[in-house]
Amino acid sequence: MELTSAIIGPVVTEKAEVLKSVSKYLIQVHPHATKIDVKNALRKFYDVDVESVRVMNTVPKRRMIGAGKVMEKRHRSKRMIVTLAKKSKPLDLATFKAA
């Protein structure tokens, strides 16, 4: 997978803000991105040292609305919790550095 499209953006929730205080960042990634792709993209484009990466796959939540029609209340997404090394600088996803 191409590293420039591995990271989609940050996830902005209350849980994500709490995790930032302990150097863990919640980011949304491409559905086909692997842990290694995300780790390499963060190292290459954001100059941070990644200690560990954990994956969260969100399954879609669907509801029948009659006559065989389906409404999707929550879409499929893939998120990763990235733990930075102690010596690493904080992650700022707004500072994308082209190679």
pLDDT digits over 28-44, tens only?
Answer: 999 999 999 999 999 99
Q: Which of 96, 86, 2 is nearest to 42 (CA)?
A: 96
Contacts of residue 92, Cβ cutoff 8 Å, sequence gap at least 6? 46
Q: Which of 78, 61, 82 is nearest to 70 (CA)?
A: 61
pLDDT-based confidence at residue 92 (cuts at 50, 70, 90) = confident
Say what the pTM is. 0.83
Question: What gap in Å lies between CA 98 and CA 61, rounded to an integer?
Answer: 37
The type of residue at 2 is: E
Instruction: Encode pLDDT of 7-36 as tens digits.
Output: 999 999 999 999 999 999 999 999 999 999
Across the chain, what does the average pLDDT equal?
91
Predicted local distance difference test score (pLDDT) of residue 99 = 55
Instruction: Encode pLDDT of 62-78 as tens digits.
Output: 999 989 899 999 899 99
